[in-house]
């Protein structure tokens, strides 16, 4: 999985490309550390190029959410394909994150 | 460590040795070729050098004689009318030129009527180095007066004759020497050639010198060989002029030779007297003779062979040393690694057994009830994060299924926590919502890694069929009615356990009719992948449920078989757990 990070105004944007499964979750976890310093910023997770996500990946999102909540930042997830959106729905993450 | 496979260190060692072996074979090949070529060049240099030196020597002597004779022509021609003066000239020529063994003038038959038909003044150096002046007046050496003589006179040019053995008469007690003769035409005053001034040169010295040189080589380089180098001198027509074996002189050697040795000097390979040999040759200027050193090929190659053997031996020894060092070093590094791996695998096997013992057996005998329950689980690795539980208490069937996020050891650790939590809580509570909420409290404490568990808890009243349940983010179970209709149990959208502290979980209730089967599963089932990366999918699950007899054990078994067939040996990527409950 490939991740790209950029700042757009007040927002931290991270783009995910490829499959987020257990093996790649270790590296992605490290890549996402940069988002944890988000005081005063909102976070946008761009998943339009994400093909697949397992519970290991979803754990990373959950972890980020807890940190962001503590700092008062909002997390929105954009570009989920139908299959992944369904999974997020089943697990109830749609109530936790702002899904667009 | 599998006994039938080679150990890690052995495999590594053999691979490295294979590479080293190939490299050494290449090096050996290169060295062999290089040494062989070097040996050839070295021999060539050696032999051609000998030929060069002897050639210089011979040329010098030949030239001395031809120059000496040519210088005396004028004086002889001046005294042409006085036959007696000729003897003086002969004596002088021989005494002034040590290269000249014998000198004479062959006059035309009957040129001096007073001297008879044959008049040949001659001076000769004998073996005691005295000069003997005589006159040859017999025609025993008939070649003087045959076609050769007439032709030479007619040609009116200077030349060297073919070598020949001197007559026994002249040799006396000594062995006849091998000679060659230089002839210069002598003219009378009107310019007509009337005689041939001839000087003989012994080729013995050349023979001796060549023999000496070649013997040196024989001793130095060719000891112990059956065939050794030797020299020959041939003329372009292939007649042997000089040979170590005196018997063979003047015999025919090889007609091809003249053709082979066209260049000024060089080397060629051919078979000589049955031995494959390399010939090093040099043409002798102003003559049609060729000096040749014949070397059996074995001799040249054998020196190189010895060197090659030495180098090869060193390489083999080197190879053995590398192998020993390699093997030892690799063993030192790889054996602990292999041992570690084996230890980890042993531990995981034990961990797997511990996990399996945390789960209830696959089925449960429920007294006073026809309700049946059947479970099946296969973790993707030795240990995993799926679990289930069921037991009966106060006529209530408690059952649950859970899936910890991730897989392997991390998920297994959380799984064991969750198992104990469920067991403890279920013993006290009757409301699924409470069980789940307490579980959530426990799991959200000390959860730095944000691990979560999708979870379904159901409590079925065995007499009434009332089912209270709470679904925490888990896949909604299927309900299969008696007649075979397959539906999905309606579930609220709750978060998984351990996601957020203080989450308000909701309970739900429904009533099951007798003959209804509940089918619970984790995402290892619908997300099972085959080699073409296709997923088993909910559609296939529904199809299987519709077409299978709705008995708890039948459903799980058939479903397991269907997945196995679909996956067809592809690696299992997620834990697979199924639970069927049939209410009766």
Q: What is the pLDDT of residues B343-368, one digit of tens each?
A: 999 999 899 889 888 899 888 888 88
Nearest Cβ partner for B406 among A22, A93, A94: A22
Distance CA B262, CA B258 (A): 7
B405: closest chain A residue by CA: A55
- For B440-575, where are the E strands, in sequence order? 453-461, 466-472, 478-480, 486-488, 508-511, 516-521
Phi, psi of B256 (to 5 degrees): -75, -20
Q: Looking at CA atoms only, how far is residue B407 from chain A in angstroms?
A: 8
Query: Which residues does chain A have within 8 Å of residue B502's beta carbon, measured at their own beta carbons?
Result: none
DSSP string, B271-284: EETTEEEEEEEEEP
Contact A91 B500 (CB under 8 A): no
Could you give the ipTM of this predicted complex? Answer: 0.89
Q: Which CATH architecture has domain B1-356?
A: 2-Layer Sandwich (3.30)
Contact A59 B405 (CB under 8 A): yes
Q: Looking at CA atoms only, how far is residue A69 from chain B in angstroms?
A: 11
Contact B450 A91 (CB under 8 A): no
Q: Name the pairing type of β-strands B453-461 and B396-404.
A: antiparallel
Nearest Cβ partner for B495 among A60, A89, A96: A96
Q: Residues near B455 by Cβ (< 8 Å), separated by ≥ 6?
A: B400, B401, B402, B403, B418, B436, B439, B471, B472, B473, B474, B496, B497
Share of chain B above pLDDT 70, in %: 95
For B242-251, B307-316, B323-332, which range has the lowest pLDDT when averaged over its residues? B242-251
Query: Which residues does chain B have within 8 Å of residue A59's beta carbon, measured at their own beta carbons?
Result: 405-406, 449-452
**DSSP annotation of B497:** B
Same fold, B1-356 and B359-583: no
**DSSP annotation of B472:** E
Q: Looking at CA atoms only, how far is residue A94 from chain B in angstroms?
A: 9
Contact B406 A62 (CB under 8 A): no
Q: Which residue has the higher pLDDT, B21 or B222?
A: B21
Distance CA B146, CA B371 (A): 141
Residues of chain A that touch chain B, judged by Cβ-Cβ distance less than 8 Å: 21-22, 25, 54-56, 58-60, 62-63, 66, 89-96
Assigned token pair, B277: 């040999």
Distance CA B451, CA B347 (A): 23
Contact A92 B499 (CB under 8 A): yes
pLDDT of residue B260: 65
A 10 A CB-CB count for B210 gives: 26
Q: Name the pairing type of β-strands A75-78 and A42-53.
A: parallel
pLDDT of B58 > 80? The answer is: yes
The full set of domain ranges for chain B reads: 1-356, 359-583
Per-residue confidence of chain A (100 residues) as pLDDT tens digits? Answer: 889 999 888 889 999 999 998 889 999 999 999 889 888 889 999 999 999 898 889 999 999 998 998 888 889 999 998 989 988 998 989 888 888 8
Say if residue B346 is exposed, middle or buried (CB neighbours under 10 Å; 0-12, 13-18, 19+).
exposed
Tell me if the pTM is above 0.80: no
**B359-583, superfamily in CATH?**
PPM-type phosphatase domain (3.60.40.10)
Distance CA A11, CA A44 (A): 7
- B75-122: per-residue pLDDT in tens? 999 988 888 888 899 999 988 888 787 888 988 888 888 888 788 888
Tell me the domains of chain A and their CATH numbers: 2-99 (3.30.750.24)
B404: closest chain A residue by CA: A55
Query: Which residues does chain A have within 8 Å of residue B528's beta carbon, measured at their own beta carbons?
Result: none
Contact B493 A95 (CB under 8 A): yes
pLDDT of B255 > 70? The answer is: no
């Amino acid at each position: 999985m490939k991740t790209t990070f950029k700042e757009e105004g007040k927002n931290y944007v991270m783009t995910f490309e490829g499959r987020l499964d257990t093996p790649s979750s270790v590296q992605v976890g490290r890549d996402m550390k940069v988002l944890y310093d988000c005081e005063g910023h909102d976070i946008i997770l761009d998943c339009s190029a994400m093909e697949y996500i397992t519970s290991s990946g979803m754990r990373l999102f959950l972890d980020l959410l807890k940190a962001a909540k503590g700092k008062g930042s909002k997390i929105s997830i954009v570009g989920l394909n139908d299959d992944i959106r369904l999974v997020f729905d089943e697990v109830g993450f749609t109530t936790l994150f702002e899904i667009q | 460590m599998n006994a039938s496979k080679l150990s890690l260190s052995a495999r590594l060692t053999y691979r490295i040795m294979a590479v080293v072996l190939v490299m050494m074979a290449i090096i050996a090949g290169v060295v062999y070729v290089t040494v062989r070529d070097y040996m050839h060049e070295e021999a060539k240099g050696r032999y051609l050098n000998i030929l060069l030196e002897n050639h210089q020597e011979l040329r010098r002597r030949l030239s001395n004689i031809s120059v000496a004779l040519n210088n005396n022509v004028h004086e002889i021609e001046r005294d042409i009318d006085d036959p007696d003066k000729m003897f003086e000239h002969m004596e002088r020529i021989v005494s002034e030129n040590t290269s000249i063994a014998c000198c004479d003038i062959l006059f035309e038959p009957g040129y001096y009527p007073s001297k008879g038909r044959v008049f040949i003044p001659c001076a000769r150096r004998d073996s005691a180095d005295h000069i003997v002046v005589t006159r040859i007046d017999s025609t025993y050496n008939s070649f003087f007066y045959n076609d050769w003589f007439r032709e030479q006179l007619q040609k009116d040019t200077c030349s060297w004759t073919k070598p020949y053995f001197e007559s026994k008469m002249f040799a006396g007690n000594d062995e006849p020497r091998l000679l060659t003769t230089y002839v210069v035409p002598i003219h009378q005053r009107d310019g007509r050639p009337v005689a041939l001034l001839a000087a003989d040169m012994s080729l013995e010295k050349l023979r001796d010198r060549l023999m000496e040189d070649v013997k040196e080589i024989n001793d130095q380089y060719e000891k112990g060989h059956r065939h050794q180098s030797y020299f020959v001198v041939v003329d372009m027509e292939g007649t042997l002029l000089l040979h170590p074996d005196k018997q063979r002189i003047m015999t025919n050697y090889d007609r091809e030779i003249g053709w082979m040795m066209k260049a000024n000097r060089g080397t060629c390979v051919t078979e000589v007297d049955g031995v494959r040999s390399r010939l090093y040759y040099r043409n002798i200027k102003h003559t049609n003779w060729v000096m040749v050193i014949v070397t059996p090929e074995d001799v040249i190659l054998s020196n190189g062979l010895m060197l090659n053997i030495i180098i090869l031996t060193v390489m083999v020894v080197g190879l053995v040393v590398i192998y020993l060092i390699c093997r030892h070093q690799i063993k030192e590094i790889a054996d602990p690694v292999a041992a570690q791996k084996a230890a980890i695998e042993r531990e995981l096997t034990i961990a797997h057994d511990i996990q399996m013992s945390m789960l209830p057996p696959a089925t449960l005998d429920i007294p006073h009830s026809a309700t049946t329950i059947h479970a099946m689980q296969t973790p993707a690795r030795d240990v995993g994060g799926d679990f289930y539980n069921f037991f009966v208490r106060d006529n209530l069937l408690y059952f649950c299924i859970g899936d910890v996020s991730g897989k392997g050891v991390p998920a297994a650790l959380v799984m064991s926590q969750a198992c104990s939590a469920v067991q403890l809580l279920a013993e006290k509570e009757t409301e699924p919502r409470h069980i789940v909420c307490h579980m959530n409290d426990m799991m959200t404490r000390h959860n730095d890694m944000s691990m979560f568990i999708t979870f379904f808890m159901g409590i079925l009243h065995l007499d009434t069929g009332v089912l209270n349940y709470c679904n925490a983010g888990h896949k909604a179970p299927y309900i299969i009615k008696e007649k075979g209709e397959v539906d999905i149990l309606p579930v609220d959208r709750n978060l998984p356990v351990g996601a957020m502290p203080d989450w308000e979980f909701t309970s739900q209730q429904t009533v099951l009719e007798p003959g209804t089967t509940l089918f619970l599963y984790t995402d290892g089932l619908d997300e099972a992948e085959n080699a073409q990366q296709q997923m088993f999918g909910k559609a296939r699950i529904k199809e299987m449920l519709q077409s299978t007899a709705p008995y708890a054990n039948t459903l799980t078994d058939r479903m397991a078989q269907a997945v196995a067939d679909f996956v067809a040996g592809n690696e299992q990527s997620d834990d697979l757990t199924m639970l069927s409950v049939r209410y009766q």
